[in-house]
Structure 1
């Protein structure tokens, strides 16, 4: 498995990007050169230099330090949203696929209701109703993300629920829920796991978008989407204020997508 992952140059690039992001999040106080929220009006809108690697923003805050600390916020959002949505979607999808009948109809019709709305619009509506904050953005994104895992897992369960090893468990008198959690789910979450690795980047992108329109992180939080939003009015005078947060989002999404593609090559039997 490791050999297959490391044999792909693009996957290696993705792993390096993700590793850099994780290191920045873990060791932000050691990597950052300034406080991410310290205001210094005498240094406002300074161009990138040896004292401020990525320049400063409209109130003199060091952009490099804010991006480094922003990795903590972005990773926290991505991981928590996936960790909330993935188990919910997996369990519901497994129950729907294994038991079928009325249970399947109820779960999948609820799933279809959520999927009938554009995800970002539904997340915006939920976040606006709950109020602008990072925590509410995470809840809004988790509420819109779980249906995808439900459909993926249900499809996988339908393809294996009558397999010989499942029939053998039934013949031995195993409880249906024991079969579900011991046999069905472990053997059907592979495609959903691949999707989850891809979704980490997309969740971070969606959260940045919600912060950009004022529904997510609030000042002076060093969240990348909020940094982009704050830099709109000074873009002509200070290109660096928007460029570096935008590059941080771009590289993060790219890194997780490349890692997800690498996992797909390893875990998907059709790719072997």
Structure 2
């Protein structure tokens, strides 16, 4: 399986990019050359050099160190949103698909209500109502993301709930919840898992977007979207202040997308 995942050069590139992100987040105190919050006006707007390889921002903070520590924030948001929304959406989708009837109607109509709003607009509304902070952005994105897993898992459950091995379990008198959690769910969770691996990058991008417009992480937090926002006014005189945080977001999203595509090719039978 591992060989099949890495048989594609693009998937290997994705794995390398994600590994770099994980490495930066795990060893940020050892990799960062400066305190990411340390202000030094005598060094403000310094271009990339041997002393500051990514340059400094408008108050003299080292951009490389801020990007390294920002990887922790971005990875934390991405993982927590998926960890919260994936189980909720999976459970609701499995229950709706297996039991059907009124239960299915209630769950799916609730899902349709959430999906009827553009995701980023709904997340913006929730984050604005709760107040600007990275924690509220995390909660807002989790609320927005779970319906997608519900629809995916429900579709998978509907496709296998009348399979022969499921009918055999029913004939043997197995409890419905045992059939659902022991037989059906393990065989229908792969598409949602693939989607979750792809969503990590999109969640990080959405969180950066919300921070960029002031609804997420607040200064002086070294969050990539907030760094982009604060560098808008100095873009002409200090191109590096926006370029490197933007590249960090680009390569992170690209890495998760490429790795997710590789997992899909391996785990999704329709892709074989």
Which interval holds the TM-score relative to the shorter structure?
Answer: over 0.9
Partner of 1:154: 154
Partner of 2:75: 75
* Matched ranges for 1:185-200 at <5 A: 185-200=185-200
Partner of 1:250: 250
Measured in 1, the distance between the counterparts of 2:60 and 2:3 equals 47
Measured in 2, the distance between the counterparts of 1:53 and 1:174 equals 63
Q: Is structure 2 residue 178 aligned with structure 1 residue 178?
A: yes
Partner of 2:40: 40
Measured in 2, the distance between the counterparts of 1:182 and 1:134 equals 37
Measured in 1, the distance between the counterparts of 2:90 and 2:107 equals 12
Q: When the two structures are aligned, how many residues end up with a matched partner?
A: 272
Partner of 1:101: 101
Measured in 2, the distance between the counterparts of 1:57 and 1:28 equals 19
- Could you tell me the TM-score, scaled by structure 2's length? 0.99
Measured in 2, the distance between the counterparts of 1:40 and 1:173 equals 72
How much has 1:175 moved relative to structure 2? 1.0
1:1-42 residue CA offsets vs partner (Å, 9 max, x unmatched): 111111100000000000000000000000000000000000
Partner of 2:128: 128
1:234-271 residue CA offsets vs partner (Å, 9 max, x unmatched): 00000000000000000000000000000010011122
Consecutive unaligned residues in structure 2, runs of 5 or more: none
How much has 1:173 moved relative to structure 2? 1.2
DSSP-derived class of the 1:34 partner: coil
- Could you tell me the TM-score, scaled by structure 1's length? 0.99
Consecutive unaligned residues in structure 1, runs of 5 or more: none
Measured in 2, the distance between the counterparts of 1:156 and 1:271 equals 15
Measured in 1, the distance between the counterparts of 2:200 and 2:265 equals 18
Measured in 2, the distance between the counterparts of 1:196 and 1:105 equals 25
Partner of 1:208: 208
Measured in 2, the distance between the counterparts of 1:90 and 1:184 equals 12
DSSP-derived class of the 1:248 partner: helix
Q: Is structure 2 residue 230 aligned with structure 1 residue 233?
A: no
How much has 1:161 moved relative to structure 2? 0.2
Measured in 2, the distance between the counterparts of 1:202 and 1:265 equals 19
Measured in 2, the distance between the counterparts of 1:201 and 1:130 equals 24
DSSP-derived class of the 2:236 partner: coil
Task: Return 199-208 or 181-190, whichever deviates more.
Answer: 181-190
How much has 1:82 moved relative to structure 2? 0.3
DSSP-derived class of the 1:173 partner: coil
Aligned-residue Cα RMSD (Å) equals: 0.5
1:166-216 residue CA offsets vs partner (Å, 9 max, x unmatched): 111111111111111111111101000000000000000000000000000
Measured in 1, the distance between the counterparts of 2:170 and 2:70 equals 50
DSSP-derived class of the 2:80 partner: helix
Measured in 1, the distance between the counterparts of 2:37 and 2:172 equals 62
